[in-house]
Every structure is written in C-alpha cells, then in structure tokens.
Structure 1
Amino acid sequence: MNKMCSNEIKSVLLKTLIRFNDFCEKNDIKYSLAYGTALGAIRHKGFIPWDDDIDVLMMRSEYNKFEAAWGNYIKSHNDHYKLWPELDEENYFIVYVAKFFDTDTTLYEYFSKGKVIEYGIFIDIFVLDHIPVEKSEQKKLFLDVRFYWKWIQHFQRHFKKWNKFVRKYNLSLPSLDMMVNKLMERKDRYNRELTPLVSMIQDYQKKKDINLSIFKYEWFHDYILTDFEGYKFPIIKAYDEMLKNSYGDYMQLPPKDQQVGHNIDAYWR
C-alpha cells in the first residue's frame, strides 16, 4: 500500500462528504457539519489547516432514517463506501459515534495504551438524543448510559460465543443484545418526550465538561448552506451558538501546540 500525504487524505475526505451529502439529499435526511468541520467552514471556508477528519451531527430520528436508507441501498448496490452503524457489533469499540468511510483506503488510528483500529478514511456521525432538563436527572441518565456501555464493550470483547448462543435460542439472559436494548430503552424515554435539550449521551465519559456536549433542540430546526472547500453543505442556522458552546471565541486560532490533527496513517489500497 502507498502511504497518503495530508492533501490526499483531505481530498478523499471531501469526496466522502460529497457522497454522504448526495445520499442525504436524495433521501431527505437532515444533518449539520459539526465541531472542527463546522469551525473550518465558518473560519476557513474549508478544512482547518491541521485537521484531518470530518464531523457531522444528526438527530436520532434523522440518523435512524439514514441507517435504514443506507442499509436498503447497499443490499442491491456495490459501493466502495461503508457504514459502521452506531449500534453495531463491528463498531462497539467506538462507543459513541457511527462511521461512514471509503473502503478504497486503509486508515490506522492510534489510541492510548497501544490500541490501533483499522478502517478507511472516514466521516464521524455524531447522533443526538433528547435528555432531561434537570441536572440531577441528566447526571443519572449519563451514568446509566456509561454503565450499559461498559457492559456492552465487556460482552463484545469477552463473550462472543455466549452472545451467539443467547441470540440463537432467544434466551432472556445477560448478553450483548440485552445490554444494547436496555441502553436504547433508557435513552428513548426522552426521545419520545422531545425535551428541549439534546446531547451525545455516550460522549459523557470523554468530556470533562458535559455542558460542551449539550445543545438546544431548537438549534436543529433550521439549516442553511455554508461554503466548504468550494462546495455547499448544510449547517444549523444557529451555528454561532453551537460553536461558542464548544469553543468559546471560535474565530481566534488556538495556540501552536494545540494545532495538531489526529494520530493516524492512511494508505491507498
């Protein structure tokens, strides 16, 4: 395999976003550029110079539409793009994000403790769920979700044969599927209520300040198009509030020591 340079990675990322956007438009699915991608669009009209990934946000209802539409499409089409769904055994190690990636490339992402994950150059799809307004109820929900995710990862890593056995005979025993179902039952309560706040609930364990992952539901009612690398992509109309929530004075560049990308290597297949 031939190793890719930064510009080649960004070129593939842009093509992947274009493919993702075309599919969403065709299937009437709403999403917004998010995090560093949204910041790059507003501040740089494209990639942040040192960034090397694409982030998008979807409400749970829109993500469910996307996952179902892509699943139906891929049954009858050959495509070099692949979706790792958020709640899929192949993707449980990620714990809080779906990935849409180009299988004509190979990407190695290096994590702490020597962990290395292999996929293709990808878009991260962050899924938003409704959460309670009361802080005490929020904390309880976040802790419950973290509890179930730890069990999901435990069953996924260490009980593969057991999971297959329980699934085969449809047994009501602790297993991977049971924990996934309990997780979604816990989250869907607030999705049914359509509370005024939304969050990437599983991201709780990764953030020192959970408020950075909490947004107003009303922000995701209206979308506009923004420039990104010469193309137009959707972003929530309330992008200023979203970016201030995550970055503060987002038009100011961070210190040089923070201008770094992810720990990755990418190759052409």
Structure 2
Amino acid sequence: REKYNPDGSRLRCLQLGMLEILKYIDKVCSENNISYWLSSGTCLGAVRHGGFIPWDDDVDIEMLRPDYEKLLRVLSHTEGDYCLQTNSNDPYFIYDFGKLRNPKIAFDESLPLAKYYTHKGVFVDIFKLEESNSEKLHYICGRLRTLEFHILNWSASRCKFLVKPAMMLHKWNDVLFSLIRLLDRIGNKDRLRHTLGVTFTKARSYKDIFPLRRVRFENVDLPIPNSYDNYLSKMYGDYNKIVIGPSHLIVSDNCD
C-alpha cells in the first residue's frame, strides 16, 4: 500500500475517514440485530489485502431489503457526527441506495448534480438486495437510470432551473420500477440483486452469503459473505490477480 497510497496521503486520510463510518455502521447493526456485509471491492480488499485495496476510494456494503429499511429508520433518528443521505431526504440525490456521510471530511464529487446535494462529505455506500429473477429487467432499468443521470447532470451543468423539469423523468422511473419489481420476483430461485435502477446486474446467492463470517479489515473484524470465494469469483473471475494501470496512480498530497 505504501507504494501507491502512503500514510498521510489524501487518499489514505479519506480511507481512514470511511473506516470510522464503517465501524459506526457495524456498531449500529450489532446493537439492532441488522445483518450486513462488506461487498464488491471492499470485500475484495478484505480478502486480498486485509483492508482497503490500496487505490480504492470508496466503501460498499450490502444487506437484504428489510435490514436496509430497518437501518435507515435507525440512522434517521440517530444524532452524531454522521448524516444519512437517500433519495427521500435529499431531492437531488437520485441513486437507488443510501450513503452515510461525515460532513466534516470533504470529498470532491465532480458530478455537476452533486453541488446541489443537501448532504456532502466522505461516505460509505449502503446497497439493498432483493429477490430477483430477471437480469434483463435489471439491465433495462439500469439503462433508464443512466439516461436520467446524464440528463440531470447535463441540466445541472447548464442551469439549476433546468434540473427540476428533468427530475420528472426520475419520478416517472420510480413509478415504473415499482411495477417492474413485482414482475421481477416471479419464479425467483435463490437469486438476489441490487434494487432496480442500480447498474450492477449480476446476481448474488443466499447460499454464498449466509451465514456471514468475520475477517480482519484494517484494524477491526467485519462481516463478509461466508463463501467469499464464490461471491468474488462470480464478480471478478480471478480476483487474486492484481492489475495496475494509469487509473491507479495516486497523488500523495497531504491530508491538509
């Protein structure tokens, strides 16, 4: 890690800020009997690096939809250093998942729409999984969400007054997705996917995830899928192969 992301670099300081949010989420979930696990690149980092992938700049966790809804209820009534961001409490946040942010640690989000967010700061992404039968339906919904995403960001880059009319597409998509979700659950057999609208469409399996196990992540033990090899292999193939490219070059400026 020191080669790509030395102590004191801006990225490392952001990672440590995310780690504190992650510890807080783990504490809240433990106290409220909520199951969650490190997902995607964060799970990969835990298994392959014992912590963050050195050049990673985000944290992803997953949970089943009922646990997600319970966690949001708990976090919405919790006071402290962190703030919950969802498409319900932040009108310009259009994603179909939540973020828990620390507003005291700045995080540069280059998307034009982000400048209108109510909540800002370094964050952890919180994804919900639900039963799903059709990857095609998820692909279509993901493309619709991507289209509105580009339209909204184009509007935000021109004039804020253009954003509100563009938000109508987002609202119509929400109604459409609610209807599609009913179809998507028909005939499901052990398949879980991110909620409709998230562009990642690959299925997860109950039997790969549960029961959860804990592994070391930086300086704390956190939950990951029990059959993490199956989970990661389905997502990344040979996940132990490390490829370093230009996108992984880190500017090691100081935290300040």
Structure 1: state its 5+ residue gaps. 164-173
Answer whether contact 1:106 1:267 (CA < 8 A) is retained: no
Distance 2:189 2:88 in 1: 23
Aligned to 2:4: none
Query: Using a 3 Å threshold, how does the CA distance of structure 1 residues 41 and 181 change in structure 2: closer, same or farther?
Result: same
| Matched letter for residue 46 of structure 1 | G
Whether 1:203 and 2:186 are equivalent positions in the alignment is: no
Aligned to 1:43: 48
Report the structure, 1 or 2, having the larger helix content: 1
Whether 1:79 and 2:80 are equivalent positions in the alignment is: yes
Report the structure, 1 or 2, having the larger strand content: 1
Distance 2:80 2:246 in 1: 39
Q: Secondary structure at the match of 1:203?
A: coil
Distance 2:85 2:68 in 1: 12
**Aligned residues between the structures:** 237
Could you tell me how far 1:250 is from its partner in structure 2? 1.0
Answer whether contact 1:9 1:266 (CA < 8 A) is retained: no
Answer whether contact 2:213 2:223 (CA < 8 A) is retained: yes
Distance 2:205 2:231 in 1: 9
Whether 1:227 and 2:227 are equivalent positions in the alignment is: no
Could you tell me how far 1:198 is from its partner in structure 2? 1.5
Q: Describe the superposition over 1:137-176 as per-residue Cα deviations: whole angstroms up to 9, x where unpaired.
A: 431453256447756997997574899xxxxxxxxxx886
Q: Describe the superposition over 1:189-214 as per-residue Cα deviations: whole angstroms up to 9, x where unpaired.
A: 5458764211124233xx6xx4xx32
Distance 2:42 2:183 in 1: 31
Distance 1:266 1:101 in 2: 21
Identity among equivalent positions (%) equals: 22
Distance 2:208 2:22 in 1: 22
Aligned to 2:3: none
Distance 2:254 2:97 in 1: 20
Distance 1:124 1:48 in 2: 16
Query: Using a 3 Å threshold, how does the CA distance of structure 1 residues 91 and 196 change in structure 2: closer, same or farther?
Result: farther
1:184-263 equivalence runs, <5 A: 184-190=178-184, 195-200=189-194, 201-204=196-199, 210=201, 213-259=202-248
Distance 2:47 2:63 in 1: 19
Could you tell me how far 1:218 is from its partner in structure 2? 2.8
Answer whether contact 1:85 1:91 (CA < 8 A) is retained: no
Answer whether contact 2:86 2:93 (CA < 8 A) is retained: no
TM value normalised by structure 1: 0.72
Aligned to 1:6: 11
Could you tell me how far 1:177 is from its partner in structure 2? 5.2
| Matched letter for residue 22 of structure 2 | L
Query: Using a 3 Å threshold, how does the CA distance of structure 1 residues 185 and 4 change in structure 2: closer, same or farther?
Result: farther
| Matched letter for residue 225 of structure 1 | R
Task: Find 2:28's aligned residue among 23, 28, 34.
Answer: 23
Answer whether contact 2:96 2:198 (CA < 8 A) is retained: yes
Structure 2: state its 5+ residue gaps. 1-7, 156-161
Runs of 4+ in 1 over 6 A off after TM superposition: 151-157, 265-268
Aligned to 1:67: 72
Q: Secondary structure at the match of 1:10?
A: helix
| Matched letter for residue 73 of structure 2 | A
Over aligned residue pairs, what C-alpha RMSD do you find? 3.5
Distance 1:62 1:28 in 2: 9
Answer whether contact 1:4 1:266 (CA < 8 A) is retained: yes
Query: Using a 3 Å threshold, how does the CA distance of structure 1 residues 154 and 14 change in structure 2: closer, same or farther?
Result: same
| Matched letter for residue 24 of structure 1 | C
Answer whether contact 1:9 1:52 (CA < 8 A) is retained: yes
TM value normalised by structure 2: 0.76
Query: Using a 3 Å threshold, how does the CA distance of structure 1 residues 7 and 255 change in structure 2: closer, same or farther?
Result: closer
Task: Find 2:174's aligned residue among 160, 163, 180.
Answer: 180
